[in-house]
Amino acid sequence: MKFDISPEDIKKARVPHEVFLTNLIFNHVLVFVAVMSASSLTHLIVVIPIFSVVSLVYLFWGAQRAKTRASWYVNGHWQIAARRSRFFLLMLTVVGSLLGIIYMIAGGDMKPQHWAFGGATFLPVMVSVLGLIIFESESLHQAKNAMLPDWVSERFPENAPTPISE
C-alpha cells in the first residue's frame, strides 16, 4: 500500500534496510570472500561475527525504540527489518549449532567427511543471505516510494494512516 509520507519519514524509514543490507552484502558476502580467499587474512574472520552482532543489536534496539518514538510508517519499516534480522539470527544459530555438533562428533580432529558435512551446512546460509538481500532490496525500494506491505497495517493498526493507493 502507498501512503502520503513526508520526505523526512521516507529518509528515516530507509535506515534499517540500509543497515541490514550493509551487514548482508558487505559483511557476510564481500568481507567473508576476501578473508577466505587470502590465507594471510584468515585470522580476521572474527571481524565478521562482531560486525554482524553489532548491526543486529542496533536493528533490534532501533525497532524497539521506533515503537514509541517514530511515526507509524518509520516504525513499520523498522519492524520489517527486525523481523528479517530475527530470521537471519535464528538461521545463523542453527548453522553454528550444526557446525558445533559436527566438530564434537569429529572429536576435534576434522577429517574430510566432516569438512564435507560442515561445508554442506553453509548452503542454507548462502541461499538465505541471497533471499534476504532480495527481500531487503525490495523493502528499501518500498521505503523510498512511501509503500508498506499489507501485513504491517494489519499487525500495527493503531495510528495507521489511510493509504492513498494499494
Q: Please state at what angle helix 7-21 crosses helix 47-69, rounded to 10 degrees.
A: 150
Q: Determine the distance from the C-alpha atom of residue 53 to the mean position of all C-alpha atoms in its chain, rounded to a whole number.
A: 11
Q: What angle do CA 43, 45, 46 make, to 5 degrees?
A: 95
Residue 48 pLDDT > 70, yes or no?
A: yes
**Number of residues in the chain:** 166
Three-class SS state of 2: strand
Percentage of residues of the chain with pLDDT beyond 70: 99
75, 91 Cβ separation under 8 angstroms: no
Closest CA to 132 of 17, 12, 3: 17
Q: Determine the distance from the C-alpha atom of residue 137 to the mean position of all C-alpha atoms in its chain, rounded to a whole number.
A: 11
**Which band of pLDDT confidence, cut at 50, 70 and 90, is reported for residue 13?**
very high
Residue 165 pLDDT > 70, yes or no?
A: no
| Predicted local confidence at residue 166, as pLDDT | 62
Q: Mind listing the pLDDT tens digit for each residue in 59-118?
A: 999 999 999 999 989 999 999 999 999 999 999 899 889 888 888 888 878 777 777 777
Closest CA to 52 of 15, 79, 88, 82: 88
